[in-house]
Amino acid sequence: MKASEKKRVLVVEDDHLVSEMIRGMLEELGYEVAGEAEDGHEALGMVRKIQPDVVLMDIKMPRMSGIEATILIQKHFPTPIVILSAYETEDLVKEASEAGVGAFVVKPPQPSELFRAIEIACGRFEDMVKLSYFRGKYDEAMKTIESLSKLLPVCPGCGEEKRDEDYAKILNRYLSGIPVEEISRYLCSHCRSRTDSEARD
């Protein structure tokens, strides 16, 4: 069992023996250990500096816990995170999930468990990135629809043609924001034909 691609992993663990064990396991699985940190505070700085593909994070550590570090990492440097812990309670798993953890492994892990957790966390992270992208596109489309609805030439309430000053301002503001390269989409057939003719000449 080998990783399909050599992902760079940051190991965050305050127990040196456990850290060495995890390092050996990761290397056997085909991952690259990009760095090691001993607490959440150090992990935050290393994520910013080395930008790992995934973080293996212990929970109980000095100065800053794994949960606290996860919240800050996901806020400032979103990265797939796998929690490594000697404990697995329902509350702890829920807290870790809410913090942005993609998978949970109980120490000491088996190689197959570690491999599965890393791949799941990375897969979930990619899904979240895609979801965030499409949500942004959706929000952008809804704003466009809202803007266009204000440009209806007639009032949807009474059916009368809009001729007031506010409507003219809204229309001009919208038209002025259209990129030059896209303006042809909004032209009438006569102006579009004339523009095409001028372009050919």
pLDDT per position in the chain (201 positions), as tens?
A: 555 578 999 999 988 888 999 999 999 999 999 999 999 889 999 999 999 999 999 988 888 888 899 999 989 999 999 988 887 777 877 888 888 888 888 888 889 999 999 988 888 878 676 766 777 777 777 777 676 666 666 666 676 776 666 767 777 777 777 777 777 776 777 777 776 666 665
- Determine contact, residues 37/12, Cβ cutoff 8 Å: yes
Given 100, 130, 160, the domain boundary residue is 130
Position 96 scores a pLDDT of: 80
Among positive and negative, which fits the CA dihedral 34, 71, 105, 129?
A: negative
Domain containing 57: what range? 8-130
Report which of 106, 67, 66, 71 is spatially closest to residue 85, judged by C-alpha positions.
106
β-pair type (32-37, 8-12) = parallel
Position 32 scores a pLDDT of: 92
Do 154 and 66 share a structural domain? no
Let me know if residue 142 belongs to a domain. no
- Determine contact, residues 97/120, Cβ cutoff 8 Å: no
Structure tokens at 164: 């007031």
CATH number of the domain where residue 30 is located: 3.40.50.2300
Is this model's pTM higher than 0.85 or not? no
Structure tokens at 146: 């809202």
**Strands, sheet with 54-58, edge to edge from the N-terminal-most edge strand:** 32-37, 8-12, 54-58, 81-85, 103-106
Do 100 and 71 share a structural domain? yes
Domain total in the chain: 2
Distance, in Å, from the CA atom of 81 to the CA atom of 58, rounded to the nearest integer, reads 10
Angle, in degrees to the nearest 10, between helices 40-50 and 66-76: 30
Let me know if residue 145 belongs to a domain. no
Report which of 124, 119, 84 is spatially closest to residue 102, judged by C-alpha positions.
124
